[in-house]
């Protein structure tokens, strides 16, 4: 079961790395105003998120089995169980487990950062469009008013 946990965590990290690349491609598409590329990236992201969800569910299932029937839910409970699992392993495997966990967390943080940047770009673009439309609307109204006078 521990071997499967390693395999799941490696797969999870691989999928997260792919998600990071897709998020970076989304940023490029947003900056370049390439709607087609943005739509393609979103479709890829949705498929990848479904796969990540399956892997995470399987990982939690394995962890719950290793926890002797305890229902593991919180991050602290997961961390505590991972510590226990690592303690019972040879040092090399333990280091590999810690490495995988750190890598997954790091990749997750990088994804979060890129997504925050993407959100900022989208919000900034929306605000610019809102101001532009407001100005256009205001210009048209003042033009009509000035014309009637």
pLDDT digits (tens, 9 = 90+) for 110-139: 999 999 999 999 898 888 888 888 888 876
Between 81 and 118, residue with greater pLDDT = 118
Q: Name the residue ranges covered by the structural domains of the chain.
A: 2-123
What is the pLDDT at residue 77?
77
- Using alpha carbons only, how large is the chain's radius of gyration in Å? 24
| pTM, entire model | 0.77
Q: What is the CATH number of domain 2-123?
A: 1.20.58
pLDDT digits (tens, 9 = 90+) for 21-72: 999 999 999 999 899 999 999 999 999 999 999 999 998 888 888 777 666 6
Cβ neighbours of 5 (radius 10 Å): 19
């Amino acid at each position: 079961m521990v071997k499967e946990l390693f395999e799941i965590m490696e797969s999870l990290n691989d999928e997260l790395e792919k998600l990071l690349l897709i998020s970076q491609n989304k940023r490029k598409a947003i900056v370049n105003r390439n709607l087609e590329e943005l739509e393609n990236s979103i479709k890829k992201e949705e498929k990848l998120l479904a796969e990540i969800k399956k892997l995470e569910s399987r990982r939690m299932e394995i962890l719950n089995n290793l926890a002797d029937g305890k229902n593991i839910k919180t991050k602290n409970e997961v961390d505590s169980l991972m510590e226990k699992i690592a303690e019972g392993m040879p040092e090399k495997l333990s280091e590999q487990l810690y490495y995988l966990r750190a890598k997954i967390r790091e990749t997750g943080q990088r994804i979060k950062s890129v997504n925050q940047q993407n959100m900022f770009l989208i919000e900034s673009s929306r605000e610019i469009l809102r101001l532009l439309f407001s100005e256009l609307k205001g210009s048209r109204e003042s033009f009509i008013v000035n014309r009637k006078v």
